[in-house]
Amino acid sequence: MTVKERYRKVIDYFLAHAPEAETELFYDNPFQLLVAVVLSAQCTDKRVNLTTPALFDRFPDAETLAQASPDDVLPYIKSISYPNNKARHLSGLGKMLVDDFGGQVPMTVDELVRLPGVGRKTANVITSVIDAQPNMAVDTHVFRVSDRIGLTTNAKTPLAAEKQLLKHLPTGLVHKAHHWLILHGRYVCTARSPQCEICGLRSVCRFYSRLPEIPSSKNPRGK
């Protein structure tokens, strides 16, 4: 199977089965999404969604967050991973949004990565979700699923995987493909026990094609 054929089959599958895939983080505006994505680093979306309502009630916009110290933010995010670092990031992020961007969330990757706690992955998420820009955020799920299926080959870093995905994905579908791969990795192609027996991509998956055909109730290739 050629790379082009594999991408076509994967895209067709997701267009048919997950046409409206989107982030599972709760947000009402770009500011809230930015804060939620910063908090989601090495933390589950479920935990973030449990945390952000009280946080957004207290700090509803960049202006109020800009006035907060890390100690002001910390009590609201104590259940999040690395709360001390993220409290510092959010306090600095609010100040920079107000001082450098008029309180608005910028919509370019180069501008976003200037903000505390915002790396390339986060910037790609914000611009793709809010503005449907063709930017591919490669988190652990995207990295793993892309490699297993065969959408990437020998990609050693998230940036290398990002470049390969962008080379082959239609520009207009990049912002959707990000969610396709994340959700597939979160619920089907999981890290430790991929659920190959229920996966609709078995026929094109490089990982599945290499599994031993040993009959067993636990083996995804068993009969």
How many other CB atoms are there within 10 angstroms of residue 133's CB atom? 18
| Catalytic residue, candidates 139, 163, 176, 218 | 139
Active site residue 218: no
Q: How far apart are CA 194 and CA 178, in angstroms?
A: 19
Cβ distance 68 to 94 under 8 Å? Answer: yes
Buried b (16+ CB within 10 A) or exposed e, 174-210: bbbbbbbbbbbbbeebeeeebebeebebeebbebbee
| 43 annotated as belonging to a binding site for a ligand | no
| Catalytic residue, candidates 110, 121, 131, 218 | 121
Counting beta carbons within 10 angstroms of the beta carbon of residue 28, is it exposed (0 to 12), middle (13 to 18) or buried (19 or more)?
Answer: exposed
| 196 annotated as belonging to a binding site for a ligand | yes
Active site residue 12: no
Among candidates 189, 192, 191, which has minimal Cα distance to 201?
Answer: 189
How many other CB atoms are there within 10 angstroms of residue 167's CB atom? 10
Q: How far is CA 87 from the centre of its chain?
A: 21
Catalytic residue numbers read: 121, 139
User: Could you tell me which residues are annotated as the binding site?
Assistant: 189, 196, 199, 205
User: Could you tell me which residues are annotated as the binding site for [4Fe-4S] cluster?
Assistant: 189, 196, 199, 205
